[in-house]
Structure 1
Amino acid sequence: MAAPFFNVKSPKGMAAVLMIGTFLGLFGETALNMALTNIMEDFDVSAASAAWLTTGYLLVLAVLVPLSSYLVRWFTTRQLIVAALTFAIIGSLLGALAPNFTILLAGRFVQALATGIILPLMFSVVMLIFPIQKRGAVMGIVGIILTAGPALGPSIAGLIVSALSWRYIFWMMVVVYAAVIFLALSKVDNVSQVTRPKMDMLSLVSSTFGFGGVVFALATLAEQSITEAIVYGPLIVGLVLLVIFGVRQTKMEEPMIDLSVFKSPMFRLGVALMVATMFMILSVAILVPMFLKTVLGFAALTAGLCMLPGNVLNIMMSPIVGTNFDKVGAKIFTRIGFTMIFVSMMVFLMTISATTATWMVIVNLCIFFVGVSMTIMPAQTNAMNSLAPQKFADGSAALNTLTQIAGALGTAIAITMFTIGQQNYIEKFADALPAEFLAHGIHTAFIVVAVISVLGLIGSFFVKNVQPLEK
């Protein structure tokens, strides 16, 4: 049996700390979506202001995740995990006790800070503390975390909001985070090499404002036209700074993110497939609840429950895919998975209307999420397997940064296309019922998601199974 790269006293316990912490962070990314109307009423804020509870969260993640490979060279694994969980508890307490919207938003920023630290750390650490032959099974669980967190957010939050109050979403997080930090103190070991490289201010500034500008523009695009300065200004500045950031990394002895990871063809392809999958997950996560609530007229709790079967199947399938990853390989899994996702998108395009049967939506979501379970873990594991262990932190930072941007892009484009679709329908059919033009808007948005599914399916046919590098 091959030995793990780092011997730790409790690899399962350490993985549990990272996975639970990451799940809560990704759960928090979408959990407040079902509570926005309640928060708007409680604090008398507009929809645009309330949306910053989600937008701001994504913005902090986009800024912090690229710094993760830098942080692991400055601080020990134990220091980073304990700090992340401490920030998470502080942010959750601010949210639970917030007397006004400003404090609530500050709490969300602190929560995102915690997630931005622990999310990329989970990827790189679990690749280092388990033997190669167990990596598939472990990454199968990681796949559950990555998809189930944001997908279950609206469902669980809908139940909490209906039974209690939106503040109890934060109280629940406080309790679980407190239990996790107690576990971390006894289970977490150090697996990183602290070298404390000199901080490069140009990299820091260009990364922060580059990724931040792009995500801000994408999030704003959901409410403003691309022709508005508040959208194209940050977008252009962000893209220019990202180019500067990329060029700078190639000229440094110890870059913030070692972009040489992209020299690996399978890493590039794996990241592209992950980006496509996360784009579709976040798009579906906002379009389907919107369809169930605005077109079919379901309450938030009912809409959340309709999405549960697909999420449960994803949770059941992910460890099965992970356990069989070494036998089947990424090539077969990604092809089957993207085929199922493609079929799901085609069915959505053919059936979405004001009279769509609820059972059809539920069954189609099940097909979609089973497909997701077969793509996201194999794609990310195959990508990371193509890297040497010392490159895991850089690969994890690059992969997670791009998937967070993909999520923001998916949300923004979904809302933008939805708005365009319903406006076009109203112009053609002025006397249309609300359910009809809303359904047409959602159908229009699904066209983009369907195109992404086609690109993902094509990309899956270029996947080659990679044998992991041991040194």
Structure 2
Amino acid sequence: MTTLAKTKQEIKRGPITVALIIGAFVAILNETLLNIALSDLIGYFHVTATTVQWLTTAYLLVIGVLMPVTALLTGWFTTRQMFLGAMTIFLIGTVICGFAPTFSFLLVGRVIQAAGSGLILPVMMNTILFIYPPDKRGGAMGLIGLVIMFAPALGPTLSGLIIASLSWRWLFYLVLPLAVFSILFAARYLTDVSQVTKPKVDVVSVILSTLGFGGLVYGMGSGAEGGWLSIVLLVVGVASLILFVWRQLAITNPILDFRAFKYPMYTLATIILILVMVTLFATMILLPLYLQQALLLSSFSAGLVLLPGGLINGMLSPVMGKLFDKFGPRWLVTPGLLIMCIVIWLFSRLTVSESMLYVIILYAALLIGMSMVMMPVTTTGMNQLPKQMYPHGTAIMNTLQQVAGGIGTALFIGIMVSGQQAYLSRSANPEAPAQMLQGLVAGMSRAFFIALVVGVISLLLSLFLKRTVAPKEDHAEG
């Protein structure tokens, strides 16, 4: 029995999992806390909407750049060093944000927060893969799903409550004790579970990765508002990515090992996740617009409408993980995608006079379907990889989902706007408020229909999913 195998038997999975989940919850909660406060920040710092949007754009940009190099960092630092370092960076960024005297300081703090946050999720997923055998990973990954969905769902509602009674700074003040507790808890209970191999750092690959994913995320996130700069960065991003992939296949020690795609279930799972992520981001960007602009709800009320779905998804994720361990992926993923497709079709038929209850039910049903898909698909793909490929497999999946989210956001906003313009061009009185509302709903209907097409493709692909068998070394050590 290897030393690592003995370590696996001696480690306490429960405390390690709790330590990771607390840190991830704090980091992911922070991603959506600030969204509702953007209008307050415009008034407080006397900046434009385009300027304040950098708080979101820069956050996504840093995470997009960091994701691909997490596999390299995992080889150079221990589990404790990675997690405690990431949480400390996140804590420093939170302090800067909370006490920021100017917008520039707030933006710097946000970038530092993103640097910590971008490292936490890959560390958590890699650690779960190392400490749980394949036949028990579903339940553990379900707990990750709880955090990933529960925290963003809670963020807007919690933010609305805080903004209504306190200043925007409390969005950061209240995160501070949670971050400190996460660091102290992890320092006490988190143990090292992976081996430090110190792989060779290929500087050219790091530069190409940064230019590629950074350019793509920024270009997609800026959309039409970015003008010629967005187009230039998109071209640079795509060209850099092509060179990056070519180099990874050519060198001995790639920072992202694309040989993970030699494993068919990993490849299929990654494609399904990309398509589902595009569909999910379509809903996440379109539905709040519908609630606020068509149903004329406040930001806080819109957050309350979306809250039940997020809470239900979070509660069901561990349950779906256990069911995955028992029945495998197909009996969960295909029905889950079918539910999602039905709901998206119903979203495409929304009118300007729907009740809040109807939207709440539809959104909750969508996220029930999502809970049956995300973690089971992820676990199915990762289970087929040998353990030395875990960091690379995780980094590739996370990076491509990040890019898919950016593409989905830009794509469906564009489709919605073009659909709205097409409707108004046929209207006798396009300036009338009622016609503008109808145009908005028409544009959303077109965007949801395209999302439905993407959803159906992922549904058809799910028919080929099957339970994966772990490589022999994982059987021996699990």
Q: TM-score range by the shorter chain?
A: over 0.9
2:187 to 185, 188, 194: 185
1:68 paired with 2:83, answer no
Aligned to 1:252: 251
TM-superposed CA distance for 1:399, in Å, is 0.6
- TM-score scaled to structure 1, two decimals? 0.95
How many residue pairs get aligned? The number is: 465
1: CA distance between counterparts of 2:422 and 2:154?
A: 32
2: CA distance between counterparts of 1:192 and 1:49?
42
Partner of residue 319, structure 1: 318
3-state SS of paired residue (1:324): helix
Q: CA deviation at 1:8?
A: 5.3
Paired with 1:154 and 1:57, the residues of 2 have a C-alpha distance of: 17
Match of 1:394 among 388, 392, 395: 392
Q: Check conservation: 1:269, 1:463, Cα contact below 8 A.
A: yes
Q: 1:154 aligns with which of 136, 153, 156?
A: 156
Conserved? CA contact 2:98–2:170, under 8 Å = yes
Secondary structure of the structure 1 residue equivalent to 2:194: coil
- Measured after TM superposition, the shift of residue 426 of structure 1 is 2.6
1:132 — aligned with what? 134
For residues 181 and 444 of structure 1, do their structure 2 counterparts lie closer, same or farther at Cα, with a shift above 3 Å needed? same
Farther off after superposition, 250-259 or 26-35 = 26-35
Q: Find the residue that maps to 1:190 and give its secondary structure.
A: coil
Please report how far the alpha carbon of residue 341 of structure 1 lies from its aligned counterpart in structure 2 after TM superposition.
0.4
Give the corresponding residue for 1:47: 49
SS across alignment from 2:422: helix
The separation in 2 between residues aligned to 1:443 and 1:139, in whole angstroms, is 34
For residues 156 and 285 of structure 1, the distance between their equivalents in structure 2, rounded to whole angstroms, comes to 17
Q: C-alpha deviations, 1:77-129, integer Å up to 9, x for none? A: 11111110101111111111111111111111111101111111111111111
Letter in 1 for 2:264: P
Instruction: Return the alpha-carbon distance in structure 1 between the equivalents of residues 7 and 161 of structure 2.
Output: 42
- 1:359 paired to 2:360: no
Paired residues of 1:220 and 1:230 also in contact (CA < 8 A): no
Provide the aligned C-alpha RMSD in A.
1.7
Query: What residue in structure 1 maps to residue 456 of structure 2?
Result: 454
CA contact (8 A) 1:69 1:393 kept: yes
Determine which of 398, 404, 407 is the counterpart of 2:405.
Answer: 407
How does 1:306-345 map onto structure 2 within 5 Å?
306-345=305-344
SS in 1 for 2:174: helix
Task: Decide whether aligned partners of structure 1 residues 149 and 307 sit closer, same or farther in structure 2, where only a CA change above 3 A counts.
Answer: same
- Structure-2 separation of matches of 1:355 and 1:74: 56
The farther-off stretch of 174-183 and 214-223 is: 214-223
Q: Counterparts of 1:78 and 1:320 in 2: how far apart (Å)?
A: 29
Q: 1:425 to 1:220 in 2, by over 3 A?
A: same
| C-alpha distance after superposition, 1:104-160 (max 9, x if no partner) | 111111111011111111111111112333211101111222233333322222222
Q: Distance in 2 between matches of 1:148 and 1:223?
A: 31
**Paired position in structure 2 for 1:19:** 21
Task: Find runs of 4+ consecutive structure 1 residues off by over 4 angstroms.
Answer: none
Give the residue type in structure 2 aligned to 1:388: P
SS of residue in 2 equivalent to 1:223? helix
Among candidates 117, 120, 129, match of residue 118 of structure 1: 120
Question: Residues 303 and 75 from structure 1, CA distance in 2 versus in 1: closer, same or farther, beyond 3 angstroms?
Answer: same
| Alignment partners' CA distance in 2, 1:431 and 1:243 | 46
Q: Which amino acid in structure 2 is aligned with residue 280 of structure 1? A: T
- SS, match of residue 191 in structure 1: coil
Q: Which amino acid aligns with 1:174?
A: L
Please point out which of 96, 105, 127 is paired with 1:103. 105
Q: Is the 8 A contact 1:91 1:109 kept in 2?
A: yes
C-alpha distance in 1, partners of 2:34/2:423? 30
How far residue 5 of structure 1 moved from its aligned partner, in angstroms, is 7.3
Which digits, 9 at most, give the CA deviation of each residue in 1:417-471, with x for residues without a partner?
Answer: 2322322233222144243233233323322322221121111111121122352
Secondary structure of 2:183's partner? helix
Q: Measure the CA separation in 1 of the matches of 2:175 and 2:280.
A: 23
Q: Is contact 1:387-1:469 (8 Å) kept?
A: yes
User: 2:335–2:369: 8 Å Cα contact kept in structure 1?
Assistant: yes
Indicate conservation of the 8 Å contact 2:74/2:196, yes or no: yes
Aligned-pair CA distance for 1:177 = 0.6
Q: Name stretches of at least 5 consecutive residues in structure 2 with no aligned partner.
A: 474-478
Q: Which runs of 5+ in 1 are unaligned?
A: none
Q: Deviations over 1:213-245 (max 9, x none)?
A: 000110111535xxx422221111111111111
**Equivalence for 1:231:** 230
CA distance in 1: counterparts of 2:205 and 2:386, whole angstroms: 24
* Deviation at residue 281 of structure 1 after TM alignment: 2.5
2:282 equivalent to 1:283: yes
Percent sequence identity is 36
